[in-house]
Amino acid sequence: MMTKTPAPPSTAHLALPFFDDAHRALASELLPWCAAQEVDERDDRAACREWVRRLGDGGWLRYAVPGSAGGALERLDSRALVLLRETLGYHSPLADFAFAMQGLGSGAITLAGTPEQQSHYLTAVGKGEKIAAFALSEPDAGSDVAAMAMRAEATADGWLLNGEKTWISNGGIADFYCLFAKTDPAGGTRGITAFIVDATAAGLDTSEHIDVMAPHPLATLRFQDCVVPRTAQLGELNGGFKLAMRTLDIFRASVAAAALGMGRRALAEAIAHAKGRRMFGQTLADFQLTQAKLGEMAALIDSAALLTYRAAWMRDDAEQRGAPAVGDVSAAAAMAKMCATENASRVIDMALQMHGGLGVKVGTKIESLYRDIRSLRIYEGATEVQQLIIGKSVLRG
């Protein structure tokens, strides 16, 4: 259940030149919608399905698919994704997760799907009628994608899939998976192809759920002689690695935005607590040490926000102009993801400390944020991977 939300977050950042009037209108409509939602999140799988339904009914999932599939905009817009995830993350990290996975799980179809694939899957994703998932990670292939062992062999009837995927978000509740498998075992990252696999495919077992510290439906997927048709191939043969990286690049800045939303919520909770908590004849907010901590928290959030908005703007600007980006988009997204997730973790930790014993009480917002934020420093590229991306960009000049 979402706890009582403190005063609505400031919208001053919307006046920044990174955004236009359409983005400002989106944010102004989303804020009251989020505040009006209340979902029982004790069962993360049931809650995730409910959030997908509500986000679809509310029209918000239309921002996760392109206009050709009924999307709200002609193409995926990184700044819209950032604003959506920041606001959803502020109110409910699980709502943010549900929205994000609809986009990430179907992103490869947006980028490389045939007209038939896009018509069949993307329209349903945008309405909340199908739940999407992105299946890349394996037990021995996380950051090291080249170590992938999942095999796809061409047959007379289609493709035969054998192997295992793990840490798959929406595993077990998704209606389809954008799956990546080796079609050339000796080809490294150049031997990977993407496929769309329906959850009903014979030979696919999604029953092994993975419980983690924050509500987040995860599962291990096992493929044993799983046959999919030729039409299940997504994009070019052996072009799956580039497709996966392009998909992640679109959504990496939005991961930063989710962390940003959680950090903003922690700061709001800390401010409300500091103003109301009385000790030694005054409020906690009257102490200079408290004021200094709140100032540090605000600076950490704003610095991450600027990197996040810049990364989203850079990608959108290049897309709209159809020209090379002003700067390295991947490095900018990596900076945003790294700084926002690390900074939000620090902010939430400081907010918890400010709450004292109440901060570690199960069921409080700060306690849940402390668990929610931790995974963001790992998934869709751990902090260390982002550092490598940035470092290589710096060396290239």
Question: pLDDT tens-digit profile of 75-116?
Answer: 999 999 999 999 999 999 999 999 999 999 999 999 999 999
Helix (H) or strand (E) holding 16, with range, is none
Rounded Cα distance between 96 and 269, Å, is 19
The model's confidence at residue 142, banded by pLDDT at 50, 70 and 90, is: confident
Instruction: Clarify whether residues 376 and 387 are in a common domain.
Output: yes
Residue 8 lies in a domain: no
CATH number for the domain that contains residue 328: 1.20.140.10
CA nearest neighbour of 172 among 146, 128, 204, 145: 204
Instruction: Clarify whether residues 175 and 223 are in a common domain.
Output: yes
Q: Domain boundary at 93, 109, 130, which?
A: 130
List the beta bridge partners of residue 180.
Answer: 194
Q: Domain boundary at 178, 203, 237, which?
A: 237
CATH number for the domain that contains residue 219: 2.40.110.10
CATH number for the domain that contains residue 65: 1.10.540.10
Non-local CB neighbours of 48 within 8 Å, separated by 6+ positions: 94, 97, 98, 131, 170, 173, 217
Rounded Cα distance between 35 and 24, Å, is 17
Percent of the chain past pLDDT 70, that is, above it, reads 98
Rounded (5°) CA angle 247-311-217: 45
Query: Average pLDDT, whole number, for the chain?
Result: 94
Rounded Cα distance between 249 and 247, Å, is 5
Cβ 132 vs Cβ 118: under 8 Å = no
CA nearest neighbour of 325 among 336, 337, 312, 308: 312
Instruction: Clarify whether residues 156 and 278 are in a common domain.
Output: no
pLDDT for 2 equals 44
Cβ 211 vs Cβ 217: under 8 Å = no
Cβ 361 vs Cβ 247: under 8 Å = no
Residue 9 lies in a domain: no
Instruction: Clarify whether residues 143 and 65 are in a common domain.
Output: no
Instruction: Clarify whether residues 370 and 313 are in a common domain.
Output: yes
- Rounded to 5 degrees, φ, ψ at 41 are -105, 15
**DSSP conformational letter for 122:** I
Residue 6 lies in a domain: no
CA nearest neighbour of 31 among 5, 69, 62, 51: 5
What is the bridge-based pairing of β-strands 218-229 and 158-169? antiparallel
- CA distances, 208 to each of 132, 164, 165, 198 (Å): 18, 11, 11, 17
Helix (H) or strand (E) holding 184, with range, is none
Q: Domain boundary at 190, 218, 237, which?
A: 237
Instruction: Clarify whether residues 109 and 197 are in a common domain.
Output: no
Non-local CB neighbours of 375 within 8 Å, separated by 6+ positions: 212, 213, 214, 216
- CA distances, 173 to each of 44, 48, 90, 147, 206 (Å): 11, 9, 24, 27, 9
Instruction: Clarify whether residues 282 and 196 are in a common domain.
Output: no
Instruction: State which amino acid sits at residue 234.
Output: L
Rounded (5°) CA angle 342-340-19: 175
**Number of domains making up the chain:** 3
Instruction: Clarify whether residues 43 and 99 are in a common domain.
Output: yes
Non-local CB neighbours of 332 within 8 Å, separated by 6+ positions: 253, 307, 310, 311, 314
SS3 348: helix
Q: Is 380 a catalytic residue?
A: yes
Residue 2 lies in a domain: no
Cβ 130 vs Cβ 124: under 8 Å = yes
Instruction: Clarify whether residues 390 and 254 are in a common domain.
Output: yes
pLDDT over 50 (residue 1): no
In tens, the pLDDT along 201-236 reads 999 999 999 999 998 999 999 999 999 999 999 999
Marked catalytic residue, from 86, 138, 342, 380: 380
Instruction: Clarify whether residues 79 and 195 are in a common domain.
Output: no
Cβ 201 vs Cβ 133: under 8 Å = no
Instruction: Clarify whether residues 336 and 386 are in a common domain.
Output: yes
In tens, the pLDDT along 245-292 reads 999 888 989 999 999 999 999 999 999 999 999 999 999 999 999 999
Residue 4 lies in a domain: no
Residue 88 lies in a domain: yes
In tens, the pLDDT along 287-317 reads 999 999 999 999 999 999 999 999 999 999 9
Residue 8: both structure tokens together: 């609505």
* Full residue range of the structural domain in which residue 356 is found: 240-396
In tens, the pLDDT along 15-73 reads 999 999 999 999 999 999 999 999 999 999 999 999 999 999 999 999 999 999 999 99
Instruction: Clarify whether residues 114 and 162 are in a common domain.
Output: no
Non-local CB neighbours of 337 within 8 Å, separated by 6+ positions: 252, 253, 255, 256, 380, 381, 386
Rounded Cα distance between 309 and 19, Å, is 8
Residue 196 lies in a domain: yes
Residue with tokens 């998932």: 133
CA nearest neighbour of 46 among 268, 165, 209, 187: 209
Residue 334 lies in a domain: yes
Rounded Cα distance between 369 and 356, Å, is 15
In tens, the pLDDT along 158-213 reads 999 999 999 999 999 999 999 999 999 999 999 999 999 999 999 999 999 999 99
